[in-house]
């Protein structure tokens, strides 16, 4: 199979999962789609060098998380240099029409790293060790990020009965 064909096959198999992860981390569908496309562009040409091709999803997951982080970092810089009048709202995009999910809203208001850690732990079902690997940080940091994020969610959103 050609490299392009292999890319297409990998896209069919993994892009959906990657897009869902990107969406949960960024809260922005269009941005999530862009991130996934960029991730595949970046990973193109490296397939034959993968030490463990079965671990492609792990590489992709990490790339998606890093690209999301890059996006948020760039946005912070833009904000820092933006004129005061152009101040943006905190959320990454206006809430979807009909948005009533308070938990989702609060999740999106968390700091990016806390949100990423929570998504990886509770949506991707990754262990703390795997989450740390994806985020490139110590396990203790993951514990701290998840703990703080959950605490924030708990104090803002009452537990459902």
Rounded to a whole number of angstroms, the minimum distance from the CB of residue 85 to another protein is 20
Alpha-helical segments (H) within the chain: 3-26, 29-43, 56-81, 102-109, 112-122, 128-135, 139-156
Rounded to a whole number of angstroms, the minimum distance from the CB of residue 133 to another protein is 5
Burial class of 78 by CB neighbour count within 10 A (0 to 12, 13 to 18, 19+): exposed
Q: Which is nearer to another protein, 44 or 128 (CB)?
A: 44
Rounded to a whole number of angstroms, the minimum distance from the CB of residue 60 to another protein is 10
First to last CA, the chain: 53
Rounded to a whole number of angstroms, the minimum distance from the CB of residue 32 to another protein is 6
Rounded to a whole number of angstroms, the minimum distance from the CB of residue 84 to another protein is 15
Q: Which is nearer to another protein, 15 or 85 (CB)?
A: 15
Q: Which is nearer to another protein, 63 or 92 (CB)?
A: 63
The three-state secondary structure class of 55 is helix
d(CA 62, CA 68): 10
Angle separating helix axes 128-135 and 112-122, nearest 10 degrees: 140
Kindly list the residues in this chain that would bind another protein in the complex (CB under 8 A). 4, 7-8, 11-12, 15-16, 19-24, 29, 32-33, 36-37, 40-46, 48-51, 59, 62-63, 66, 70, 73-74, 76-77, 80, 101, 103-104, 107, 113, 118-119, 122-123, 132-133, 136-138, 140-141, 144, 150, 153-154, 157, 159-160
């Amino acid at each position: 199979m050609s490299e392009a064909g292999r890319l297409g096959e990998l896209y069919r198999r993994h892009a959906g999962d990657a897009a869902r992860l990107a969406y949960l981390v960024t809260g922005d569908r269009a941005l999530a789609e862009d991130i996934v496309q960029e991730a595949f562009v970046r990973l193109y040409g490296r397939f034959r060098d993968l030490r463990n091709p079965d671990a492609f999803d792990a590489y992709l997951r990490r790339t998606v998380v890093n690209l999301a982080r890059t996006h948020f970092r760039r946005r912070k810089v833009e904000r820092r240099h933006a004129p005061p009048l152009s101040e943006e709202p905190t959320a990454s995009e206006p809430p979807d029409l009909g948005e009533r999910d308070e938990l989702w809203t609060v999740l999106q208001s968390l700091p990016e790293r806390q949100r990423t850690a929570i998504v990886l732990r509770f949506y991707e079902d990754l262990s703390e060790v795997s989450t740390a690997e994806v985020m490139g940080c110590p396990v203790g940091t993951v514990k701290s990020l998840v703990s703080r994020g959950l605490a924030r969610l708990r104090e803002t959103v009452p537990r459902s009965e």
